[in-house]
Structure 1
Amino acid sequence: MRDWTLTAFRDGQRSERTDLLALEEPLEIQLCFKKEVRTVAITMRTPGDDLALAAGFLFSEGVLSHPAQIQSMAHFTPEGAIPTENTLRITLQGPIPDFSGLERHFFTSSACGVCGKNSFERLGLRCGPLTSDWTFTPEHILGMLPQLQAAQHTFQSTGGIHASALFDSDGYLKHLTEDVGRHNALDKLLGRLFLDGQLPAPNHALLVSSRLSFELVQKTITAGIPMLCGLSAPSSLAAELADAFNLTLIGFLREGGFNVYSGKERIQGS
């Protein structure tokens, strides 16, 4: 977080004060394999958990399938440059990875990427519909919201950051990550699980503090997590993808209720 001096206008009064802002800096993710180095993504993120962020991004995009493919991960500063931690180099071992899943990150600036029939088909080749028959009670789902809010420490200080949280089958918070980017927050969370060998996670649920985009749904399906909840609405394509892959998709999770857009069979009493 960073201190920032600002001028506030409240109730007709003007005052000077200091506020806390969430940090935002670029991260370049490089892959090194067979002596070739390739930049695969540049994202604006909140510094911290960079290794998990990169691992989660590469896993959810189909580049990595197992932690053993990673030989090393470290921040890298080119010779003669000012040292920073804004470039991360990941050295891989084994065969050259498949980069086809990264196409949308090079050809569009949209937050949800190039979506549609090709994206559905590519995801289908990597993972089929979710088969988990685990169920959640409405009370457990409603109970996730106050746990998320209590654990969002950076949001409480800045008001300008997203969160992704993982809950177990009893509705208890297991992990939470925060970042200025909603996709980055989820990548950080999934990256931790991936590096620890804890994916897929069929008896768990995710809760994100943002709207439910196609890309968040895609990442959840890839991770083998059968439920994704959000505080806002899904897009039409996100709902279609969730329905096609048997993901329970819940939006507008607020105190007192929520909407189920697909996979209602996992909600007890529905």
Structure 2
Amino acid sequence: MTTSYARRPVFGKPPDTLVVEEPLEIRVNGQSIAVTMRTPGSELELALGFLYTEGIIRDVSEVASAKLCVDDPNVAEVVLRQHYAIESRNFYTTSSCGVCGKASIDSVKVHSHHDVSADPVTVRAATLSLLPDKLRQAQRGFARTGGSHAAGVFTAAGDLVLVREDVGRHNAFDKAIGTLLQRGEVPLAGHVILVSGRASFELTQKAWVAGAPVLAAVSAPSTLAVDLAAEAGITLVGFLRGESMNVYTRPDRVS
């Protein structure tokens, strides 16, 4: 049985609790399409979220079955109802970056089926300022190890819908999206996604594919993240720390 935490010795000090990092292979219709370094837990949600945010599936109804391999819990096997032609893309990812293994920049850019730019949601700046503390309070893994990232989904009123953690930012994001996909709560119209680290191009892409109009990060965005958010019509907030924040795109949604 896998665990999310492990004790390791520290020279001259008591043993430390560390977040576990292990590979997860994702197979679609018997073909391996991705290997990601992740924290054990919510493997099927991670697989479904990955397939959705990469544009391989558009709805959970396209999935006939999803299960862990009987012989290897580090393998998620997904069977789609229709044949899917796997593109020539290398999906190997580390826990820190989800796009560095793809074959070309053109294959990185997955277009959303949701018109995020038309979402009329508005969020009070005072509400945004409270979200990092709410996210931190829900980060049990980070509290124990200090080594996990989180993705939290909030309503525009600031209510926490769910939070997922992982050693990788993009995995935490996919676990959250995969969970909501199973519940039938995607697209995330009218919602805010908050990530515990920086806002990368890939996380902005995933927010767009999931139909989320607002993406916030406690750290900095990248230039490509800002450019993609502007193209998609996403409100991108960075350096969200208390009452301080930078709104890079679509500031009309922040009141």
- TM-score normalised by the chain length of structure 1: 0.86
Residue 103 of structure 1 corresponds to which residue in structure 2?
89
Query: Counterpart amino acid of 1:2?
Result: A
**Structure 1 stretches lacking a partner, 5+ long:** 8-14, 78-82
**Partner Cα distance (1:3, 1:51) in 2:** 26
- Say whether 1:158 aligns with 2:161: no
- TM-score normalised by the chain length of structure 2: 0.91
Displacement of 1:107: 10
Counterparts of 1:196-207 in structure 2 under 5 Å? 196-207=183-194
**Partner Cα distance (2:72, 2:66) in 1:** 15
Contact 1:130 1:221 in 2 (8 A): no
Rg larger in structure: 1
**Partner Cα distance (1:103, 1:258) in 2:** 36
Displacement of 1:260: 0.5
After TM superposition, which residue ranges in structure 1, 4 or more long, deviate above 6 angstroms? none
Contact 1:154 1:178 in 2 (8 A): yes
Residue 17 of structure 1 corresponds to which residue in structure 2?
14
The number of aligned residues is 248
Query: Counterpart amino acid of 1:165?
Result: G
Equivalent position SS for 2:248: strand
**Partner Cα distance (2:116, 2:153) in 1:** 20
- Say whether 1:229 aligns with 2:216: yes
Displacement of 1:105: 2.1
Call closer, same or farther: CA 1:4–1:25 in 2, change over 3 Å: same
Call closer, same or farther: CA 1:144–1:110 in 2, change over 3 Å: closer
Equivalent position SS for 2:73: coil
Call closer, same or farther: CA 1:218–1:146 in 2, change over 3 Å: same
Residue 4 of structure 1 corresponds to which residue in structure 2?
8
- Say whether 1:70 aligns with 2:63: yes
Displacement of 1:129: 4.7
- Say whether 1:91 aligns with 2:84: no
Contact 2:24 2:35 in 1 (8 A): yes
Residue 26 of structure 2 corresponds to which residue in structure 1?
29
Call closer, same or farther: CA 1:107–1:155 in 2, change over 3 Å: closer
**Partner Cα distance (1:97, 1:127) in 2:** 22
CA RMSD of aligned residues (A): 2.1
Residue 135 of structure 2 corresponds to which residue in structure 1?
148
**Structure 2 stretches lacking a partner, 5+ long:** none
- Say whether 1:238 aligns with 2:225: yes
Residue 54 of structure 1 corresponds to which residue in structure 2?
47
Displacement of 1:84: 3.3
Contact 1:217 1:228 in 2 (8 A): yes
Contact 2:116 2:213 in 1 (8 A): no
Contact 1:63 1:98 in 2 (8 A): no
Call closer, same or farther: CA 1:130–1:172 in 2, change over 3 Å: same
Contact 1:64 1:97 in 2 (8 A): no
Query: Counterpart amino acid of 2:57?
Result: L
Query: Counterpart amino acid of 2:238?
Result: G
Deviations 1:21-61 (A, max 9, x none): 001111011111xxxx2001000100110010000000001
**Of the candidates 146, 171, 178, which is equivalent to residue 184 of structure 1?**
171
